[in-house]
Amino acid sequence: MSKDSSTAVKRTSPASYLWIAAIAAVIGFAAVYWTMAPSDNGEGIANSPTTAEAKPMAAPTKTGETAAPTPNAMPNEGGKLNSGHMAAFIFKPEPETLGDVSFKDGTGQSVTLADFKGKTILLNLWATWCAPCREEMPALDRLQNQLGSDKFEVVALSVDRGGAEKSQQFLDKINVQSLTLYVDEKAGSSSVLKVIGMPTTLLIDADGREIGRLVGPAEWDSADAVRLIKAHLP
């Protein structure tokens, strides 16, 4: 072996390889720690600009406090209106134009949603065989008694196949006094309004557009419901 080859072997002895490997391991460990440290410490992700921008805060409340972010509320709600008893209420991203819906009143006269234009309405689809519908009806009656006016009406629309007579018997039985009977015994409105379960209640603005809806029973005479409705009166 030549002198130069012998020198090269000495320069790349096993000890030298061990030092090189050790240094590489330290560098690799430091790189991994730098990458994972923010999330391991509970920081970084929570404080990142992207996450902060993804959670816009709601407008200040009347007391000057800031309400929690509201995923369902429309941008211009000025607070979380779908909370408490109205937590299941889902706002449309924008008020949505509804299809033609026709039905009859208790006297058999034809009625359409267009007949209510100019006032906000709470359209509740119900039936006598629907237990949750029966349960919430007194609250709807109290709401109509409290807020009913030329600016607002609860439109309780029965889709019961028994027609007006059976529906009216039920309303009389539970002593409903403020609601007007409306009937759609063929349930055509359910299809037009894309109702998938009952009760379903739609809040419709004075221009006849759907603001949002709630599927299932609710405390419609609660302070939460009254606040939500008053925020959308003309």
What is the full per-residue pLDDT of the chain (234 aa) written as tens digits? 544 444 444 454 555 544 544 444 434 433 333 333 333 333 332 333 333 333 333 334 444 443 433 334 444 444 589 999 999 999 999 999 999 999 999 999 999 999 999 999 999 999 999 999 999 999 999 999 999 999 999 999 999 999 999 999 999 999 999 999 999 999 999 999 999 999 999 999 999 999 999 999 999 999 999 999 999 999
Name which of 219, 209, 216, 149 is nearest 178 in CA terms: 149
DSSP code of 208? S
* pTM of this prediction exceeds 0.75: no
Strand order in the sheet with 152-158: 90-97, 209-215, 200-204, 120-126, 152-158, 182-183, 102-105, 110-112
